[in-house]
Amino acid sequence: MATDYQGNGYATEVVRPFVEWGKKQQKLEKIYAIVKVSNAASLRTVEKSGFTLESEGKRKCWGNLEIMKVYTF
């Protein structure tokens, strides 16, 4: 089951190298991560991966207004 692998740091281990590859190989100036404030695990992953918080506010997500955090790397 997928939940057996959650909380082990696997996402954090993959995100930063992937983002650094994207910036270098694809010449991306900025990469965005937009996360619902209610998604604590994804917020931790983004923050541990070196993203910087740019803003927080209501945005549409799947047709609903949600409070979201916008990060950049």
Asked whether the predicted pLDDT for residue 2 surpasses 90, the reply is no
Listed residue (73, 72, 10, 69) closest to 35, CA to CA: 69
Residue 52 is part of a domain; what is its CATH number? 3.40.630.30
Please state the domain count of the chain: 1
Residue that is written with structure tokens 């209501």 in the block: 58
Domain that holds residue 58: 2-72
Express each pLDDT in 4-59 by its tens digit. Answer: 888 899 999 999 999 999 999 999 999 999 999 999 999 999 999 999 999 999 99
